[in-house]
Amino acid sequence: MNIILASPRGFCAGVNMAIESLDLAIQAFGTPVYVYHEIVHNKYVVETFKAKGAVFVNDLSKVPSNSHLLFSAHGVSPEVRQTARERQLIAIDATCPLVTKVHLEAIRFAKQGFMIVLIGHQGHDEVIGTMGEAPEAILLVESPEDVDQLTIADNAKLAYLTQTTLSVDDANRIIERLKARFPQIVGPPKEDICYATQNRQEAVETLSSEVDVVLVLGSQNSSNSQRLKELAIENNVKAHLIDGPEDIDGNWFKSTDTVLVTAGASAPELVVERCIDYLRERFDATLQPRSIRNEEVHFPLPRELRSLNMQEMQTENSKAEK
C-alpha cells in the first residue's frame, strides 16, 4: 500500500486560535471554563477539553453567573452576547476572524437596506450566528433548487453571503443560479469561503485522481470535513470520513491500494498520525507526503487573553534565562 499524505490538512488558523484560547483560559482561570457550543466540530478535541475541565453548553442558563464563558470558533448571535451580559458572564470571544467578517458584512448589507441570501447549511452553528445579526433581512438557501423557491421581488435590493466552510463548487453553483434569477444581486468584496477550506478542497481535487481510496479525518458534524469526503466521491473515488483509526474497516482496502489521507480544518494531527500507523501496521504501507500549497496564516488571540499570553511568555523567558 502507498499512502499519499495531503498538505495542507488539519487545523486552520481559526481552529488553532480557538484551541489556544481555551487552553490559556483553563490555565489562567482554572476550571470549569464554560464554552458555548463545541469549541470546534471535532469529537477528539471536545473530549480532550472535557477531560481538562471545560464544560460545553448549548444553553447559557446552565452557566453560573460570573463564570468564564468562551464563544466557539463558529461565532454567536447578538442575542447570545446580550444574554451573556445579562447573566454577568465573563465572555471570551474566540470567533474565527473569517466568520466575524461574514457577520460584519451581514450587518452592513442590512443597514443599507439589502435583503440578504445566505448560502449555508440549516442548523449549523455558524449559520445560526450569522442569521442572528439581521434575522429580518436574511433568507437561507442550501441548494440551487432553494433559489428557485425564493419569493423576492425582481427589483429587490439583494445581496448574498456564504458560510465559510462550504464546498467551493457547490457555493458557485448556487451563486450562478442567484445571478441568473436576480441579475442585480451583489456579493461581498471578497469571497466568504475561508482559505483553509479552499486549500483542503484543492488538495483533494488535485490528488484524488491518483488514488483508490480517500480517508478524511474529521467528525460527522464538521461541515468542511464532510465536503472533503463529498468532493472525493464526486471524483469517483471511494471515501470515508472518520474520527480516528478505531473507525477504519480493513475491508475498505486492498493491499495494493494507493490511499489519500487528509484532514478537515478541525481535526488534530495526532489522529492523522494514528491512522497512518494503523495502515503501516496492517498493510505495510509506505508514506508519500504531497504538498499543494503552503499556509502561513496566523490569527491573534482574543483581546481578553492577549495580556495573559504576554505574561506567560515573559514567565517562560525568565525561566529560560535562569
Q: What are the residues facing 158 on neighbouring strands?
A: 115
Cα-only R_g, the chain? 21
C-alpha cell at 188: 461581498
Fold for the domain defined by 2-11+195-291: Cobalt-precorrin-4 Transmethylase; domain 1 (3.40.1010)
C-alpha cell at 152: 423576492
What local confidence, expressed as pLDDT, does residue 309 receive?
A: 60
CATH 3.40.1010.20 fits 98-181, yes or no: yes
What local confidence, expressed as pLDDT, does residue 246 receive?
A: 97
What local confidence, expressed as pLDDT, does residue 153 receive?
A: 83
Secondary structure of 29-84 in HEC code, one letter for each residue: HCCCEEEECCCCCCHHHHHHHHHHCEEEECCHHHCCCCCEEEECCCCCCHHHHHHH
pTM metric for this prediction = 0.88
Active centre residues (catalytic): 126
Query: In tens digits, what is the pLDDT along the chain, a chain of 322 residues?
Result: 999 999 999 999 999 999 999 999 999 999 999 999 999 999 999 999 999 999 999 999 999 999 999 999 999 999 999 999 999 999 999 999 999 999 999 999 999 999 999 999 999 999 999 999 999 999 999 999 999 999 998 788 999 999 999 988 899 999 999 999 999 999 998 888 899 999 999 999 999 999 999 999 999 999 999 999 999 999 999 999 999 999 999 999 999 999 999 999 999 999 999 999 999 999 999 999 999 999 999 999 999 898 776 555 445 444 544 4
Q: Is 154 left (phi over 0), alpha (psi -120 to 50) or beta?
A: alpha
| Helix/strand/coil for 99 | helix
Are the folds of 2-11+195-291 and 13-95+301-310 the same?
Answer: no
The CATH class of the 13-95+301-310 domain is: alpha beta
Domain range annotation of the chain: 2-11+195-291, 13-95+301-310, 98-181
